[in-house]
Amino acid sequence: MAGTLLVWAVSALRNSPELWTHNPLVFFLIKTSAAGFLIILVFHHLRRLSFAKNGSFYSAAAIFFFLANVVVFSFIDIAFSFYFLWAYCAAIIFSMVKTRTLKFILLAASPLLFYFLVYDTFFAADIGLAGSLLNSPVLGNFLLGFMLFPFLQMLIRIDLLFRHPHGHRSGRTLKLLLGCCCGITIFATAYALVFHPWKDAPQPLTFEEYTAGAVHELRLASPSPLGDFTVAFGEESFPVTTDERSCRIPLPGGESAADSSGNVSPYPAIEAADFLTRRTYHITLSPHLKPVKMKLSLSSDTGLVVYDANFPYSVDAAGRNAEVFIGDNPPVPLTIILTFPREEEIFAELTSWSLRLSASPAEVHGKTFGSFRYSKTVDSFILKNDE
């Protein structure tokens, strides 16, 4: 838990909760070394208590916990059991050999496969697993502690092989490890506090023009605080000063938002035709900005029944919502044909994305960003029986 608090403190000081995603290995070192330092420090000062002084007890405990790791992590992912099986076998041989040199070699060899696991998780940036281990105050701490505890027991076993001038004090092995953990914690924390993820590349910026009904705004987002700069959009300029990682800039327009040529984004053109108890809608889409992706969502308060469609679609398990899969780079104008029960009232929401914006230029002045610009338009309408 102390390691997690230190990771959170570094992120808070940098005002960037997602800073760990840029270099998760550094934050992993902060968490594990801080935890190791505190554990060894507590053990060092509690040696005078009635802890077991029999070295074979710690060897047996390491074997037991490695076996428990095999079982626990096999339930999470059977591929993880391979890493712990290697350490489990090394711990068994560790308990059998008598010399300190061989025990040191086996201790160093037991986590060899874990280095690959750490590389895959924190170097190759498996963000999902890395985030759960670094930020979870309960489950992530439990898993890390469960993984590292048997290695600490093997270290204690080796420490007991050395003569201690005072029986209640730790030997040189644990003292050396205590100093290493302290040094790694201080160095990794200092590095994280001065670490700049955009030193060799411009800070990424998502530049989104969002239009939905009467709402028309620019939405800026970045993994790091935005800072101070000016946004030029069309003929207007908007100053931005914020320590947040996102901001919204209201724009005039909304439903009447037009592109630079004066074309207004229309609602879909809808035609309906009845046949017996069914009604077929022809929905023609003609956005003024060439879309790269479109999504049509349908919902109904009474239950959604789709008789036919000229595009693939799926209905959720509750039977009240459906999504029509239009795909990427659709041609425009585009006609979607849908057939429902005649009396059914359908609420539709059409979302389209385009790599073009409604005004030019759209630039940022005063700070260098690697910008990704796109527009997102959301149109809501109702398909219903007008009789």
Q: How many CB atoms lie under 10 A from the CB of residue 52?
A: 11
**pLDDT score of 4:** 57
**pLDDT score of 184:** 79
> Which residue did the predictor score with more confidence, 166 or 120?
120
**pLDDT score of 174:** 67
> Which residue did the predictor score with more confidence, 14 or 120?
120
At 259, the pLDDT band (50, 70, 90 cuts) reads very low
Tell whether the model's pLDDT for residue 167 goes beyond 70: no
What is residue 125's DSSP assignment? Answer: T
**pLDDT score of 1:** 53
**pLDDT score of 227:** 83
Q: What is the mean pLDDT of residues 143-156?
A: 78
Query: Among residues 386, 368, 290, which one has the least CA distance to residue 333?
Result: 290
Asked if residues 205 and 223 have their Cβ atoms less than 8 Å apart, the reply is no
**pLDDT score of 45:** 63
Tell whether the model's pLDDT for residue 387 goes beyond 60: no
Q: How far is it, in rounded angstroms, from Cα 117 to Cα 144?
A: 13
Residue in this structure with the two tokens 């009789």, named with its chain if needed:
387
- What does 23-70 look like in DSSP terms, one character per residue? -HHHHHHHHHHHHHHHHHHHHHHTTTSS----HHHHHHHHHHHHHHHH
- Mean residue pLDDT of the chain comes to 77
Residue 33 Cα distances to 4, 19, 198, angstroms: 11, 19, 26
Query: Among residues 94, 93, 92, 73, which one has the least CA distance to residue 83?
Result: 73
Is domain 202-387 annotated with CATH 3.40.50.300?
no
| Model-wide pTM > 0.85 | no
Q: Model confidence over 27-69: pLDDT tens digits? A: 777 777 777 777 777 666 665 555 556 667 878 888 888 888 8
> Which residue did the predictor score with more confidence, 321 or 303?
321
Tell whether the model's pLDDT for residue 237 goes beyond 80: yes
Q: How far is it, in rounded angstroms, from Cα 74 to Cα 151?
A: 19
Tell whether the model's pLDDT for residue 216 goes beyond 80: yes
Show me where the domains of the chain are located.
2-194, 202-387
Q: How far is it, in rounded angstroms, from Cα 51 to Cα 58?
A: 11
Q: How far is it, in rounded angstroms, from Cα 14 to Cα 32?
A: 20
Query: Among residues 180, 64, 158, 63, which one has the least CA distance to residue 107?
Result: 158
Amino acid letter for position 69 = N
**pLDDT score of 20:** 61
* Residue 243 tokens, joined: 């320590």
At 260, the pLDDT band (50, 70, 90 cuts) reads very low
